[in-house]
């Protein structure tokens, strides 16, 4: 059974969140540090016959962290999101989530992430005292699926996925929208090969 529906719409999304040197190795657990979302990026794809998963819409939003509003040098270097960008252009998590849910809309059949971004959204709802979104389409973790069916042999980041499959893309790495587009390119490739 294929993960990707033969018709309808798919939203493939990615998040960037606060981090520090060594935070990943600490399994994102360190006193006073949390995975606070700083960017949500998404693409809406047409899964209809003959549509080839064409991108029909996109979403990108900077998000202001509540607990650690000052970004580490590490995450600024990794994502190219500067403190100035965040201070001038970010919105509160509640507003970002409402906008993202509106972008998903009621015409989306599948919500797809390459990782545990859904868990990160739930964590941020808890941090910000925001109700968890309801009535969203089913969400699938593409990384977990690909590992399970043997399309991947090891853990990789979304930004590195196109390289694994020999796909040349020109999207910014560790940028939520760029990573969503990079994963979408891989999904198109795998669907074209009949593997998704």
Q: What does the radius of gyration of the chain's CA atoms come to, in whole angstroms?
A: 16
Residue 162 has φ and ψ, to the nearest 5°, of -60, -40
- Write down the pLDDT at residue 29: 86
Q: How many CA atoms lie within 13 A of 73 on its CB side?
A: 0
Checking if the pLDDT of 48 tops 90, the result is no
pLDDT tens, residue by residue, 101-127: 999 999 999 999 999 999 999 999 999
Structural domains of the chain sorted by starting position, each given as residue range(s) with its CATH number in brackets: 9-192 (3.30.420.10)
Token pair for 101: 């849910």
Pairwise CA distance, residues 196 & 188, whole Å: 9
pLDDT tens, residue by residue, 135-154: 678 889 999 999 999 999 88
Pairwise CA distance, residues 133 & 121, whole Å: 9
Which strand (E) or helix (H) includes residue 100? helix 93-104
How far is the first Cα of the chain from the last one, in angstroms, to the nearest whole number?
9
Placement of tokens 């960037």 in the chain: 16
Token pair for 72: 């580490």
pLDDT tens, residue by residue, 53-82: 999 999 999 999 999 999 999 999 999 999
Eight-class DSSP state of 14? E
Quickly state the pLDDT bin for 162 (edges 50, 70, 90).
Answer: very high
Quickly state the pLDDT bin for 12 (edges 50, 70, 90).
Answer: very high
The DSSP bridge partners found for residue 22 are none
Pairwise CA distance, residues 191 & 50, whole Å: 12
Yes or no: say if 150 and 169 are a contact pair by the CB < 8 Å rule: no
Task: State CA 88 to chain mean position distance.
Answer: 22
Of 94, 110, 28, 31, whose CA–CA distance to 61 is shortest?
94
Q: How many CA atoms lie within 13 A of 3 on its CB side?
A: 24
Quickly state the pLDDT bin for 2 (edges 50, 70, 90).
Answer: confident
């Amino acid at each position: 059974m294929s993960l990707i529906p033969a018709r309808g719409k798919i939203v493939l999304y990615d998040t960037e969140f606060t981090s520090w040197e060594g935070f990943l190795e600490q399994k994102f657990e360190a006193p006073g540090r949390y995975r606070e979302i700083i960017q949500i990026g998404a693409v809406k794809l047409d899964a209809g016959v003959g549509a080839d998963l064409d991108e029909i819409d996109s979403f990108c939003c900077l998000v202001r962290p509540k607990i650690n509003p000052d970004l580490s040098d590490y995450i600024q270097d990794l994502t190219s999101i500067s403190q100035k960008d965040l201070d001038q252009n970010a919105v509160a998590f509640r507003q970002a989530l409402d906008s993202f849910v509106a972008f998903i809309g009621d015409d989306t059949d599948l919500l797809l992430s390459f990782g545990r971004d859904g868990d990160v959204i739930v964590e941020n709802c808890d941090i910000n005292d925001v109700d968890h979104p309801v009535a969203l389409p089913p969400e699938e973790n593409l990384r977990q699926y690909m590992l399970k069916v043997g399309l991947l042999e090891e853990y990789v980041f979304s930004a590195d996925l196109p390289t694994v499959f020999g796909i040349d893309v020109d999207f910014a790495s560790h940028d939520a929208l760029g990573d969503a587009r990079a994963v979408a390119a891989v999904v198109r490739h795998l669907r074209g090969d009949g593997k998704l």
